[in-house]
Chain A
Amino acid sequence: NAGVTQTPKFQVLKTGQSMTLQCAQDMNHEYMSWYRQDPGMGLRLIHYSVGAGITDQGEVPNGYNVSRSTTEDFPLRLLSAAPSQTSVYFCASSPGQGNSPLHFGNGTRLTVT
């Protein structure tokens, strides 16, 4: 029972590099989302998806791209990494109903130098 799986757990990038953070869930959840967590800022929504082929922007989308080609996968792409993107990134999913809680992955700690 894997739940939400994020890879990698840790990543160090140089400014300007690009990379993809992977997220996969095996619960057939329609809703998937990406958050970043920074000290004192709580969780901030980057992008979300309510189903395959549908994505939308959250609170802090600049510098990030997403796609949702399958129900299971929701990768987050950093186009040109900046030090301001140093953070812990969490992927979360849910069935998409109002009273359904989110299921979180264990996070990816990203450092941009």
Chain B
Amino acid sequence: GNSVTQMEGPVTLSEEAFLTINCTYTATGYPSLFWYVQYPGEGLQLLLKATKADDKGSNKGFEATYRKETTSFHLEKGSVQVSDSAVYFCALSDRASGGSYIPTFGRGTSLIVHP
């Protein structure tokens, strides 16, 4: 079956530090890959996505590149801000045996940014 593995948190950084959150996946097909962000007290919202190998998704200074050869989709940001403190989820969407696209989520990585 499909699975997504993320680095465990919390990740604690000082403002303006470089961020990497690792994500690797296992999929039977050719999935689309996503990063979602969850701010305190809210639902998840899409941060960025990539749909084919070597695609780079980007948004709000965050980037992730679809690496098929290493089955990875690591999230990076060059300079984090306190407002980036949130929980980040890596996810894939692949066609299930019944033909529907069922998302698979990682367990989430909490990011805490200190001033």
Contacts and interface: CB of A to CB of B under 8 A. Distances in A.
Given A31-B101, A99-B51, 17 more contacts: A31-B100, A40-B107, A42-B89, A42-B106, A43-B89, A48-B102, A97-B101, A98-B32, A98-B51, A98-B93, A99-B32, A100-B101, A102-B36, A104-B44, A105-B43, A107-B42, A107-B43
Contacts of B43: 4, 90, 92, 104-107
B42 A106 contact: yes
Interface string A71-113: 0000000000000000000101000111111101111000000
A106 B41 CA distance: 7
A106 B39 CA distance: 10
Nearest to A40: B107
A63 B41 CA distance: 25
21 contacts: A41-B107, A42-B89, A42-B106, A43-B89, A43-B108, A48-B100, A90-B43, A90-B44, A96-B100, A96-B101, A98-B31, A99-B32, A99-B93, A100-B93, A101-B36, A102-B46, A104-B36, A104-B45, A106-B42, A107-B42, A107-B43
A50 interface: yes
Q: Main SS of the interface on chain B? A: strand
A99 B105 CA distance: 15
Contact of A43 (B51, B101, B105): B105
Contacts of B94: 98
Given A90-B43, A90-B44, A106-B42, A101 B34 contact: yes
Contacts of A45: 102
A74 to B, nearest CB: 15
B67 interface: no
Nearest to A51: B100
Interface in A32-81: 33, 40-43, 45, 48, 50, 56
Interface in B28-60: 31-32, 34, 36, 41-46, 49, 51
